């Protein structure tokens, strides 16, 4: 009888398939630890800047925008630049930034605005958050790629400068 919490495609009795466990055993703890950090930061922001009754939830919008911007930056460094630790993406991307951004609260805030009899504000908040989040990811990617390009050019310029003066190439 199969055990429901064990992946049926991996038989840990076979030596070759034990590598599956060894490679990925720290991913879930990294995500969990990052999630605790991100959710705690989001909670701190919500406590520092609470939404007034019947007010627009600007803190949730700001947290989601900041998190999306940072996800764009992180993905450039993980995917384009490379060389990052294999647990960086699960820890920082899924854990910290996944716990920090709060699209479930965004949904609840939209329903709360609807229940308060403010459908136009709810629609604006709903659509505005989506647009701001997408724009923030794009801005994070553009800014990070520009930073990587500038750093690459600076390194090349410094290498060329050292070579012209007769120092090491």
Return the DSSP state at 10. -
Low-confidence residues in the chain, pLDDT < 70:
1-12, 16-23, 161-169
Distances (CA, A) of 163 to 25, 73, 149, 153, 154: 47, 33, 21, 15, 14
List all residues 6 or more positions away from 106 whose beta carbon is below 8 Å from its beta carbon. Answer: 57, 60, 61, 64, 129
Q: What is the pTM of this model?
A: 0.79
Q: Does residue 122 lie in a domain region?
A: yes
Q: Does residue 10 lie in a domain region?
A: no
Q: Does residue 86 lie in a domain region?
A: yes
Tokens of 15: 């030596």
The total domain count for the chain is 1
Q: Does residue 9 lie in a domain region?
A: no
CA distance 95 to 19: 24
List all residues 6 or more positions away from 23 whose beta carbon is below 8 Å from its beta carbon. Answer: none
Q: Does residue 8 lie in a domain region?
A: no
Closest listed residue to residue 97, CA positions, set 75, 127, 82, 77: 75
Q: Does residue 140 lie in a domain region?
A: yes
**What are the φ/ψ torsions at residue 92 (nearest 5 degrees)?**
-80, -45
Largest interatomic CA distance in the chain: 74
- Which residue do the tokens 């999630």 mark? 35
Return the DSSP state at 162. H
Structural domain of 102: 15-164
Q: Does residue 4 lie in a domain region?
A: no
The pLDDT value given to residue 34? 97
Strands (E), the chain: none
Q: Does residue 67 lie in a domain region?
A: yes
């Amino acid at each position: 009888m199969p055990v429901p919490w064990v992946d049926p495609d991996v038989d840990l009795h076979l030596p070759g398939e034990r590598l599956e466990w060894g490679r990925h055993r720290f991913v879930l703890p990294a995500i969990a630890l990052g999630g605790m950090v991100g959710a705690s930061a989001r909670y701190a922001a919500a406590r520092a800047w609470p939404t007034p009754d019947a007010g627009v939830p600007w803190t949730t919008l700001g947290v989601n925008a900041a998190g999306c911007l940072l996800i764009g930056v992180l993905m450039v460094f993980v995917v384009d630049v490379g060389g990052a630790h294999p647990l960086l993406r699960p820890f920082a991307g899924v854990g910290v930034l996944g716990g920090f951004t709060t699209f479930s609260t965004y949904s609840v805030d939209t329903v709360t605005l609807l229940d308060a009899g403010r459908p136009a504000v709810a629609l604006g908040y709903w659509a505005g958050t989506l647009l701001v989040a997408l724009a923030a990811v794009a801005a994070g990617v553009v800014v990070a790629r520009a930073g990587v390009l500038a750093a690459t050019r600076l390194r090349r310029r410094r290498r060329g400068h050292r070579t012209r003066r007769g120092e090491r190439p």
